[in-house]
Amino acid sequence: MSNREVMDVCVVGFGAIGALYAYALHKTNKVRITAVCRSNYDVLQEHGLDIESKILGHYTSWKPYRAVRTVEEAADRSYAYIVCAFKCISDITTTPALLSPLLSRLSADPPTSTTTFVLLQNGIGIEDDLLEALSKISAPTVVISGCCWVDTTAVDGGKKITQHGNETLVLGYHRPASGPSASVVPEQIAKDSLDTLIDMLRAAGSNAEAAPDADIARWRKVLWNASFSTLCTLTRAHVGDVLAQPNSRQALRDIMTEVLTVARASLTPSPAVDESLSDGVIDLILTNENPKSVFRPSMLVDLDCGRPMEVEAIVGGVLRRARVHGVPTPKLDLIYAGLLVIQKGLINRRRD
């Protein structure tokens, strides 16, 4: 972490997740937030944002230090943290392409202090292309994955965000990809950057915690997304509805079993893998869900709003790992095929 009194933090994507954690960081008085609001700039400038959060409290008309419409505008300075809270939809654009003005600046004018990228996004392998792009830049960088377990929604035309129930944010850093000009930061710097972020979020009221292994945390999270998010989306049903039917409950179990097999084949065997990704985790996930839950996973909310969904990150990412390791995934293949048909329609309508 730099010695600056106030850190500059750029949050790219100011939907519910981005705004919630931006507000948490702002509450510490240690950061200045630059919010890149690609679709909700006018609403934010005119009304500010009302926050109604169980963990962060209530606030009316909050405005971050500054809001900009594009990543280009945000690239006028360097940042201690660049929080990626946009949906990872590689069939529309990749993370390095979306962040290219910030990456170009890092390359042309490398700061001496570390820049940490924080990926608050769902999926498997979503960090790969960013790590690859950063390996060609000499500036010192760290990539952190954040797995969010939180029910937060933008309501009232984006003027308000609500957050109910429990919240957990599991954060861990990735080992950097090596490259000819990569400035591979010592592991201690990655740890410091992670600890600083977690300390700030916890001070604000979040239940942020460090993952001993970012990859295991991602697989643990995708167990939920690849099963609940996809089945709820294909059936347009609440979490409680897919739990209630014996057939769909069994389908959730079958999908999670496939994901677990791929996870174990992809990860280096370790006691942590055995513990976090044991067969018992499926029962734990199923029994932890409220059978009466009316929760709509974000993939279903995207479909309802006519927005492209995180199919590639959530299902495609698992399938690509499965193919590398020769793991058959008949259930996930079918889910993927169905979702891709819907996704194509969503992307085509968006282009019209």
Ligand X SMILES: CC(C)(CO)[C@@H](O)C(=O)[O-]
Specify whether the backbone of 57 is left (phi greater than 0), alpha (psi in -120 to 50) or beta: left
Q: With respect to ligand X, which residue has the nearer C-beta, 44 or 313?
A: 313
Contacts of 37 (CB under 8 A, 6+ apart): 14, 44, 67, 68, 69
CB of 41 to ligand X, least distance (A): 24
123 binding ligand X? (CB under 6 A): no
Out of 75, 150, 255, 282, which residue is the one contacting ligand X (CB under 6 A)? 150
Continuous segment of H or E residues that includes residue 315: none
In one-letter notation, the amino acid at residue 315 is V
149 binding ligand X? (CB under 6 A): yes
Please tell me whether residue 255 adopts helix, strand or coil conformation: helix
Please tell me whether residue 270 adopts helix, strand or coil conformation: coil
CB of 241 to ligand X, least distance (A): 15
Tell me how far apart the alpha carbons of residues 327 and 8 are, in angstroms, rounded to a whole number: 44
Task: Judge contact between 201 and 21, C-beta under 8 A.
Answer: yes
Out of 40, 78, 122, 233, which residue is the one contacting ligand X (CB under 6 A)? 122
Tell me how far apart the alpha carbons of residues 160 and 181 are, in angstroms, rounded to a whole number: 44
CB of 98 to ligand X, least distance (A): 19
Task: Judge contact between 124 and 222, C-beta under 8 A.
Answer: yes
Closest CA to 303 of 347, 243, 263: 347
Stretch binding ligand X (CB under 6 A), from 32-40, 98-106, 143-151, 201-209: 143-151
Task: Judge contact between 315 and 226, C-beta under 8 A.
Answer: yes
CB of 260 to ligand X, least distance (A): 17
Closest CA to 14 of 154, 112, 126: 154
Q: With respect to ligand X, which residue has the nearer C-beta, 185 or 282?
A: 282
Q: With respect to ligand X, which residue has the nearer C-beta, 122 or 206?
A: 122
Q: With respect to ligand X, which residue has the nearer C-beta, 238 or 320?
A: 238
Q: With respect to ligand X, which residue has the nearer C-beta, 150 or 190?
A: 150
Vertex 142 angle, CA 15 and 98, to 5°: 45
21 binding ligand X? (CB under 6 A): no
Total residues found in the chain within this entry: 352
Q: With respect to ligand X, which residue has the nearer C-beta, 52 or 192?
A: 52
CB of 298 to ligand X, least distance (A): 4
How many amino acids of this chain bind ligand X (CB under 6 A)? 9
Tell me how far apart the alpha carbons of residues 332 and 315 are, in angstroms, rounded to a whole number: 7
CB of 341 to ligand X, least distance (A): 20
Q: With respect to ligand X, which residue has the nearer C-beta, 41 or 149?
A: 149
Stretch binding ligand X (CB under 6 A), from 142-150, 241-249, 268-276, 317-325: 142-150
CA distances from 148 to 82, 186, 195, 259, 302 (A): 17, 26, 17, 19, 17
For the residues of 31-69, what is the DSSP string, one character each?
EEEEEE-SS-HHHHHHH-EEEEETTTEEEEEE--SEEES
Please tell me whether residue 174 adopts helix, strand or coil conformation: coil
Stretch binding ligand X (CB under 6 A), from 144-152, 173-181, 259-267, 328-336: 144-152
CB of 103 to ligand X, least distance (A): 26
Q: With respect to ligand X, which residue has the nearer C-beta, 79 or 86?
A: 86
CB of 160 to ligand X, least distance (A): 18
Closest CA to 229 of 262, 263, 259: 259
* Range 272-331, binding ligand X (CB under 6 A): 297-298
* Range 209-228, binding ligand X (CB under 6 A): 224-225
* Range 1-20, binding ligand X (CB under 6 A): none
CB of 6 to ligand X, least distance (A): 30
Could you list the residues that contact ligand X (CB under 6 A)?
122, 148-150, 224-225, 229, 297-298
